[in-house]
A and B are shown apart, each in its own frame.
Chain A
């Protein structure tokens, strides 16, 4: 967790290791970005990302939520209308 936001923009960390979660037989070479690796019944790809939560900046790791039901919602952008 970053204690001071400063001016640096913390980055996103995604798990590249296809071997760990991706058991699909037909996946491309490990160098290639997986186009769409998600599927129901399969593990959710893990990631870590900077976040804003209740007045503070923090870091969120998906796998920290194991043991709980998690709802992950993507949306087009802040200040958009819907």
Chain B
């Protein structure tokens, strides 16, 4: 986990010490990166030049350095970390299965996966049904 904003690493230190340690025991356990100037944010398409800050962008990068997922939001809405964890677990599963399995909508760790192949074409309805749509 890497966190990144345009604040200096000095400010990161003080923010961690004065506020974040009151929310998380021992403070933030992962590196807080300083991207003053927004060069990294520009590369990732999350730097807002007008305000000189970065919007809320989240990238899941696999062990080969490939971006598997991204989520970009305007600042006032916070992230939902359980959803991020769910996605990482799903990507880990499909990576391990090397294409033999895929995770359907609403998949959570432990629930059934899909086995893509000729036999499944047109038959997904037999093995997967929406659980919560319209609920």
**A contact residues vs B (CB 8 Å cutoff):** 5, 9, 11-12, 14, 33-47, 49-55, 57-58, 60, 62-63, 65-80, 82
Contacts and interface: CB of A to CB of B under 8 A. Distances in A.
Contacts, number: 175
25 contacts: A12-B37, A12-B39, A12-B40, A40-B70, A44-B65, A45-B40, A49-B4, A51-B9, A51-B31, A52-B9, A53-B32, A55-B13, A60-B31, A62-B2, A66-B64, A69-B88, A69-B92, A71-B2, A71-B58, A73-B58, A74-B54, A74-B58, A76-B55, A78-B11, A82-B75
A49 B88 CA distance: 24
Interface of B: 1-16, 19, 27, 29-37, 39-46, 53-70, 75-79, 84, 88, 91-92
